[in-house]
Structure 1
Amino acid sequence: MTQEQYILAAQPNPLHQRGASVCGAQVYPAVGIYGWRKRCLYFFILLLLVTMIVNLALTIWILKVMNFTPDGMGNLRVTKEGVRLEGVSEFLLPLYVKEIQSRRDSPLILQSDRNVTVNARNDQGQLTGQLTVGSEMVEAQCQRFEVRSADGERVLFSADEEEISIGTEKLRVTGNEGVVFSHSVETSHVRAEPFQDLKLESPTRTLTLEAPRASCRKDLLLQSSEGEIFLDANTIRLGNIPLGSAVDPLEGAPAGTTYTKQTVYELCACANGKLYLSPAEKGSTCQTTSNFCLWS
């Protein structure tokens, strides 16, 4: 090899750097990714495809498990009337709604492991009413508490700081110990149940009844086991007391004596406590008219 040929062979080939002209066209060398770069690119494309498939599968699984439908999700349904929950629902955070209603064929149940509290607040956020249902008591905190009838027209029970009102036609107390009042009681009518006795008792103190007029339909029994019955009044009137007649001492039958002009009578009492009138004379006539106790 001559020296000129050696120098030409040692110089870089311009076809590999700038391209060569073949038949008048410019030719450039091929450009691409080869080797380990190509394998990494295919691996990342495959990994991205697998991730997309897994993501799509998980999305479909979540939609299936959560029961997503065009009307809502799971037990939650969105209707024209509002939001409807079916089954048991749990709320971990505060719930703000305008109205809560149950289905027409089932009751509304609010359940908690501890107390259930319902609060009412005004525009400033101040507490105006509270109802707490606990394991030991039910507490209501409000300015006025009312219980109304089924139609909502009559107030059956109301309570506020000033008074307690009971608007029912009959107040029934079924306790064995009755009713205990620490202070005075004002009422227009006290009546016992049919075929039951009415008993007013003060075991350790005095029982005082004050009224301008008192009446009863049948027997009125005044009994004192250890003391006396004291009637204190300017005038004590006993109306409709029967009049006893004289008795023939020999035959023990009424002698037929009448007292048409009699104006003064003697008050007599039988052994059973019945009272009757006997004509007043110089001496007592209760003995002569005592046969009235046997007839009555």
Structure 2
Amino acid sequence: MTQEQYILAAQPNNLQRPGGAPIYPVGIYGWRKRCLYFFVLLLLVIMIVNLALTIWILKVMNFTVDGMGNLRVNKQGVRLEGISEFLLPLYVKEIQSRKDSPLILQSDRNVTVNARNELGQLTGQLIVGSQAVEAQCKRFEVHSNDGGKVLFSADKDEVSIGAGKLRVAGTEGAVFGHSIETPHIRAGPSQDLKLESPTRTLTMEAPKGVEISADAGDFKATCRKEMQLHSTEGEIFLNANTIRLGNLPHGTFAASSPGSTGPKQTVYELCVCPNGKLYLSPAGTGSTCQDTSNVCLWS
């Protein structure tokens, strides 16, 4: 064997045979293969957990083809069943309860209902709070069940009550700071009607007359200083079986002396002073009003 043949035989045969196809390694081997399988397995687990959570949310929230939970969407609008809580503003056109249940709006502080115009300006407001109920609007009205009669209305000019009967059940009665206009004031059955002005004047006026009647009881008018019955054109007519004027001053004869004694006077004559004051004068054979004019002088 020559020296060149020995060298060729000792070296590895890395040369491809002429005429043969080249051989390339195909596939992922080693740690790359293990990472790929790990990521595929992790993706499969995430998909299974996501599908399970989606099914659980659909079950808990009660998703259906008509809505979600207590919310149902129909042709008339949106229907809520049970207790609903809104954390953000709610914009709706109409809120209506079921026919067999009331509509309840509940809040921990107050319930406020606002009405605005097309420019966003506040035109009406209703506040229901724990201390008071406030309404802010141009005109406030309360209608009857049929909606045809206005039972109560109030604006900045007047307050109107359209009910057939106004009943004030308070023990202190009704207090009016200014004038009141009404065609009829009547007390309830078996109750007294009392018109009182503790510190000011009580005035009753009517263009065609004022009528005061007590069919089943007494009529009593008292005052601290003066009571005036004034008629400009007509007359003051007192029609009763008995007319009594109590606490009238007594006049005496001018010629009588303090030490004179005589029979006790039981019959008196009613006299009138020029200023309108009434007094009693002892009756005699003739009028004794002129003889007892000392009452008029000191009045």
**Number of the residue aligned with 1:276:** none
SS in 2 for 1:68: coil
CA contact (8 A) 2:140 2:155 kept: yes
Say if 2:4 is the partner of 1:3: yes
Q: What does the per-residue CA deviation read over 1:258-294, in whole Å, with 9 as the maximum and x for residues that have no partner?
A: xxxxxxxxx99xxxxxxxxxxxxx779xxxxxxxxxx
Residues 238-263 of structure 1: per-residue CA shift (max 9 Å, x gap): 34769xxxxxxxxxxxxxxxxxxxxx
SS in 1 for 2:192: coil
Instruction: Answer yes or no: is 1:75 the counterpart of 2:70.
Output: yes
Instruction: State the partner residue of 1:252.
Output: none
Q: Shift in Å at residue 79 of structure 1?
A: 1.5
Match of 2:108 in 1: 113
**Residue 233 of structure 2 corresponds to residue 236 of structure 1:** no
- Which one of 166, 179, 183 corresponds to residue 174 of structure 2? 179
Cα separation, 2, equivalents of 1:143 and 1:165: 14
User: Corresponding residue for 2:99?
Assistant: 104
Rate the CA distance shift 1:88–1:213 in 2: closer, same or farther, 3 A. Answer: closer
Q: 1:95 aligns with which of 90, 93, 102?
A: 90
1:224 has 2:219 as partner:
no
Distance 2:140 2:224 in 1: 46
SS in structure 2 of the partner of residue 53 of structure 1: helix
- Structure 2 CA distance for aligned equivalents of residues 229 and 37 of structure 1: 118
Stretch of structure 1 that moved more, 97-106 or 6-15: 6-15
Task: Render the CA deviation track for 1:157-177: whole Å, top value 9, x for unaligned.
Answer: 001111110000000000000
Tell me: CA distance 1:108–1:12, structure 2 relative to 1, closer, same or farther (3 Å): farther
Output the CA distance in 1 between the equivalents of 2:12 and 2:141. 111
SS in 2 for 1:69: coil
The 3-state SS of whatever aligns with 1:205 is coil
CA contact (8 A) 2:72 2:79 kept: yes
Secondary structure at the residue paired with 1:84? strand
> What letter is aligned with 2:147?
G
C-alpha separation in 2, matches of 1:98 and 1:34: 67
Contact 1:78 1:84 in 2 (8 A): yes
Quick check: 220-229 or 141-150, which moved more?
A: 220-229
Contact 1:117 1:131 in 2 (8 A): yes
Q: Is the 8 A contact 1:144 1:158 kept in 2?
A: yes
State the secondary structure of the residue aligned to 2:76.
coil
Give the Å deviation of 1:213.
4.2
Per the TM alignment, residue 104 of structure 1 is displaced from its structure 2 partner at its CA by 1.5
C-alpha distance in 2 between matches for 1:71 and 1:117: 31
**Structure 1 residue matching 2:36: 3-state secondary structure:** helix
Match in the other structure for 1:200: 195
Percent identity over the alignment is 66
- CA distances 1:203-251 after superposition (whole Å, capped 9, x unpaired): 3333333342425252552343765654344632234769xxxxxxxxx
Separation in 1, partners of 2:24, 2:97: 79
Q: Distance in 2 between matches of 1:120 and 1:171?
A: 31
- In the other structure, the counterpart of 1:124 is 119
CA deviations over 1:174-209 (Å, ceiling 9, x no partner): 000001111111111111112322221223333333
Q: Structure 1 stretch 149-158 or stretch 226-235: which is displaced more?
A: 226-235
CA RMSD after TM alignment:
2.7
Residues 142 and 36 (structure 1 numbering): CA distance in 2 closer, same or farther, change over 3 Å? same
Q: Which residue of 1 aligns with 2:60?
A: 65
Which of 33, 42, 47 is matched with 1:38 structurally?
33
Structure 2 counterpart of 1:3, which letter? E
What does the per-residue CA deviation read over 1:44-91, in whole Å, with 9 as the maximum and x for residues that have no partner?
111111111111111111111111111111111112211111111111
Please tell me the residue identity of whatever aligns with 1:198: L
Residue 148 of structure 2 corresponds to residue 153 of structure 1: yes
Q: Which amino acid aligns with 2:15?
A: P
Aligned partners of 2:204 and 2:210 also within 8 Å: no
TM-score normalised to structure 2 length: 0.72
Distance (whole Å) between structure 2 residues aligned to residue 34 and residue 12 of structure 1 = 26
- Residue ranges of structure 1 left out of the alignment (5+ in a row): 243-266, 269-281, 285-296
Partners of 1:12 and 1:85 in 2: how far apart?
85
Question: Which deviates further from its counterpart, 224-233 or 59-68?
Answer: 224-233
* Aligned-partner Cα distance in 2 for 1:151–1:29: 96
Distance in 1 separating the partners of 2:51 and 2:221? 94
Structure 1 residue 20 displacement after superposition: 6.1
Three-state SS of the structure 2 residue aligned to 1:56 is helix
Distance 1:20 1:114, change over 3 A: farther
